[in-house]
Chain A
Amino acid sequence: MTAIDIGVPRGVPRKRHAPTARRHRRERIFKVVGLLATLVGLVALGALLFDLAYSGLPRLSWDFFLNFPSRRANIAGILSAWVGSLLVILVTGAIGIPLGVAAGIYLEEYARKNLLTNIIEINVSNLAGVPSIIYGLLALGLFVYGFGTGRSIFTAGLTLALLILPIIIVATREAIRAVPDSLREAALGLGATKWQVTRDHVLPAAMPGVLTGVIIGVSRALGETAPLITIGALTFIAFLPTPPITSEPPFISFQWLWDGFTVLPIQAFNWVSRPGDDFHANAAAAGLVLVLLTLGLNGIAIYLRYRLRKKLQW
């Protein structure tokens, strides 16, 4: 429908509008309904945050971040959990983001539309809805037993990378599709190769959208528990992975990739299921850290997106 075509086909009686007062009343009613719908989500989030903060805040201290888990709730901390979470997410991002973005670019810019790409497309969308434990079972069979990668940070990163791959692919494709064709045609017309067009024009223009997908994916990976327990994440681990920098040449060690680990949601889950209120306070505090970490990541993404959008000029 174009902008001029506001009329109704001839012969069809024009729908009579309700009197002005009633229309305005409906307008107001919808406004209230819309507001209520928005508030349900916001209030739920607010209540959750308040509840976590209420029982968790008193437990937050440097010691809580620097202590290992313990049977005594008041000296138990989340050191191994937050270090584990960060390292696993690092591996997840390093593998999942380039793979997902590359696949998205290929499917949108390079692949021909045929039966095969259609099947791939449907599968990718479906994969985004597969329960996470299935990824855990796949990873247990394929990575842990098949490739012998063990119950390690590397395996966890690979598993979560698989989990967020469909999310990143779908977001990348949507973002690339939103880039106007005139941009591509202009660059192609000047003799640029497809890769040059993609790298210098399409991808930068699509970056804000890609980033949104990456952040949604990474935030989801941060909160995952089930697939990690399936591949054999630990619950009690009172030491840190091998440091990445060593005193002997070549000074950089990737040994930490093979170390056992635990993550924040597993630690919180474990504390929630313990008897006694003092462990529940720990769980709330760990949950609070996790929520703040996710919100922080989102904040960084929103800031980056804002800066990238401002730079875009067509």
Chain B
Amino acid sequence: MKFKFLSLAAIAAVGGSLLTGNEALAQAKTIAIDGSSTVFPVSEAIAEEFQKANKGAIRVTVGISGTGGGFKKFCRGETDISNGSRPILKEEIEACKKAGIDFYELPLAFDALTVAVSPKNTTLKCITVAQLKTIWEPSAQGKVMKWKDADPSWPDQAIKLYGAGADSGTFDYFTEAIVGKAKASRGDYTASEDDNVLVTGIENDANSLGYIPFAYYEPHKAKMKALGIDWGKGQGCVLPSLENVLAGTYNPLARPLFIYVSKKAADKPEVAQFVEFAMTKGPALIREVKYLPLPDEAYKMGIARFKAAQVGSGFGGIPEVGLPVAEILKRTPKM
């Protein structure tokens, strides 16, 4: 009896689907966003407020396929907006071009990586990029096991490393910025895709050193100590903070986060409305979810770029690190 009902339901379901088809979905005003899970909390906050402001007349959905996975869907025309924790890459630009998808590139917020140690660590206040490289580069594996191996003035104690897992965008960014090559890292450290695991590890281990996104450091700052970063380019030691990131001095561990808006989608009034909402109401929401907003000019520039229909990427598909805000804003997009 049960099977009879279930199979009838299945047949009815397939039949019904043939009748209604996919078109009806397009009629409902829905904005589809997908991409980086790093950008997700920001998008979620903006989407939530945007829906509330429109009393639910326009629906927004957000997925977390990752930056690369998001661009794949975006360049097939399946999503309206793609979240990126890095600029779009060459192959992705090609794929979009092939599918005839033009896009706007709009910087949305900053994400800063924090290098943190246990508060019990009294020797370290500042670390240079060169020292970080000595600790984290692939050849350090099995060699740099004690603090003094990285710097003779540091204590003769085992160093416990915590870092992002290889599938994480944070891992790509840290290795690119510190070692100079994406994904080049030693492997003998406690790795996790879940930043909360790293937070717990750094807090509970007196000899810990690890890197985590700033948003994870902020709520735990009583229990861990952020190190200042010295890029060795004359700026000296810079602590991770909103002011320093905005001033463009927290380098090379601050990175911009982007949204990419399909031009075809932007012709729809609801998408245009959403972009405007993100650029005006965004900064407050970004602060609320503990990310770092860009300076006001960035959002004004975003709106201007959008209104002037300036499509394309300003980065030419090549990954770069440590760009100050002013530099990012100066880049004019080209296709």
| 0/1 interface trace, chain A 91-121, chain B, CB 8 Å (1 if under) | 1011101100100000000000000000000
Number of chain B residues whose Cβ lies closer than 8 Å to a Cβ of chain A: 51
Q: Which of A95, A148, A232, A239 has the most CB of B within 10 A?
A: A232
Confirm or deny: B269 has a beta carbon within 8 angstroms of a beta carbon on chain A: no
Is the beta-carbon distance between B44 and A260 smaller than 8 angstroms? no
Is the beta-carbon distance between A254 and B20 smaller than 8 angstroms? yes
Is the beta-carbon distance between B22 and A229 smaller than 8 angstroms? no
Is the beta-carbon distance between A254 and B13 smaller than 8 angstroms? yes
Binds B, one of A25-33, A38-46, A216-224, A266-274: A266-274
Binds A, one of B62-70, B143-151, B182-190, B313-321: B62-70
Of the residues A95, A258, A273, contact of B10 by C-beta under 8 Å: A95
Binds A, one of B121-129, B212-220, B258-266: B212-220
Is the beta-carbon distance between A94 and B3 smaller than 8 angstroms? no
Is the beta-carbon distance between B17 and A154 smaller than 8 angstroms? yes
| 0/1 interface trace, chain A 263-284, chain B, CB 8 Å (1 if under) | 0000000101111100010000
Can you sample 6 A-B contacts with CB below 8 Å? Answer: A94-B7, A94-B9, A98-B7, A229-B63, A236-B48, A237-B61
- The docked-state distance in angstroms from the alpha carbon of A238 to that of B58 is 11
Q: How many whole Å from B120's CB to the nearest CB in chain A?
A: 22
Q: Which of B's residues lie within 8 Å of A, judged by CB?
A: 3, 6-7, 9-10, 12-13, 16-17, 19-20, 22, 24-25, 30, 32, 34, 37, 40-41, 43-45, 47-48, 51, 56, 59-65, 73, 78, 193-196, 199, 213, 215-216, 218-220, 285, 288-290
Is the beta-carbon distance between A257 and B10 smaller than 8 angstroms? no
Q: Which of A's residues lie within 8 Å of B, judged by CB?
A: 69-71, 91, 93-95, 97-98, 101, 148, 150-151, 154, 229, 232-239, 252-255, 257-260, 270, 272-276, 280
Look across to chain B and name the residue whose beta carbon is closest to the beta carbon of A239.
B59
Is the beta-carbon distance between A70 and B196 smaller than 8 angstroms? no
Is the beta-carbon distance between A236 and B47 smaller than 8 angstroms? yes
Look across to chain B and name the residue whose beta carbon is closest to the beta carbon of A80.
B61
Q: How many whole Å from B101's CB to the nearest CB in chain A?
A: 16
Is the beta-carbon distance between B25 and A259 smaller than 8 angstroms? yes
Contacts of A239 in B (CB 8 A): 51, 56, 59
Is the beta-carbon distance between B25 and A150 smaller than 8 angstroms? yes
Look across to chain B and name the residue whose beta carbon is closest to the beta carbon of A91.
B13
Contacts of A276 in B (CB 8 A): 219
- The docked-state distance in angstroms from the alpha carbon of A8 to that of B48 is 78
- The docked-state distance in angstroms from the alpha carbon of A257 to that of B24 is 12
Contacts of B7 in A (CB 8 A): 94, 98
Is the beta-carbon distance between A97 and B3 smaller than 8 angstroms? yes
Q: How many whole Å from A206's CB to the nearest CB in chain B?
A: 13
Is the beta-carbon distance between B20 and A236 smaller than 8 angstroms? no
Is the beta-carbon distance between A273 and B196 smaller than 8 angstroms? yes
Contacts of A229 in B (CB 8 A): 63-65
Given the contacts A229-B65, A255-B24, A259-B25, A236 and B44 also touching, CB distance less than 8 Å: yes
Is the beta-carbon distance between B196 and A234 smaller than 8 angstroms? no
Given the contacts A97-B3, A258-B22, A235 and B62 also touching, CB distance less than 8 Å: yes
Q: How many whole Å from B24's CB to the nearest CB in chain A?
A: 6
Is the beta-carbon distance between A148 and B22 smaller than 8 angstroms? yes
